[in-house]
Amino acid sequence: MQPCLFCAIARGEVPSHRVCETDDLVAFLDIHPIRPAHTLIVPKAHHAYFDDMPPKLAGDIAVLGQKLARAMKSLYGVERAGFAFMGFDIPHAHAHVMPVFERDDITSRRAIAEEKVTYRHPPRAEDAELVETLARLRSALGD
């Protein structure tokens, strides 16, 4: 198996801006956030895809996602937060949670009108910005 970035983050070998963690999960800020407080939830155990995880673990991710979503909605005054299991860039099951400011913050390719769409990482967030966001999000979580 190739070295896994998310496994290394979960083990604390790679620095991250951890929002919270449980015995089985780590939630940390995405360094290429689509929106402020864009958080990744990863299981500490390696599972390449979300359908490889035990059902309870997938449920635990959803429950933590709900907690984060409520905090983000309160913190940013938005009506909803987005939650999606992904795995395009790193083959380690993970969920994205973020406040939704605009309809296309999380969207399907099928909803895009242009025939050819190109993708890029959102800009790398400055560490100072991530530290400030982390403090605000943790405060909103009540932890």
Q: State both tokens at 81.
A: 């937060």
Concerning whether 38 is annotated as a catalytic residue, the answer is: no
How far is C-alpha 33 from the geometric centre of its chain's CA atoms?
Answer: 9
Contact yes or no for 62/20 (Cβ under 8 A): no
* Helix spans in the chain (H): 5-10, 55-76, 127-141
Distance CA 57, CA 42 (A): 10
Catalytic residue among 17, 38, 94, 96: 94
Would you please indicate which residues are annotated as catalytic (active-site) residues? 94
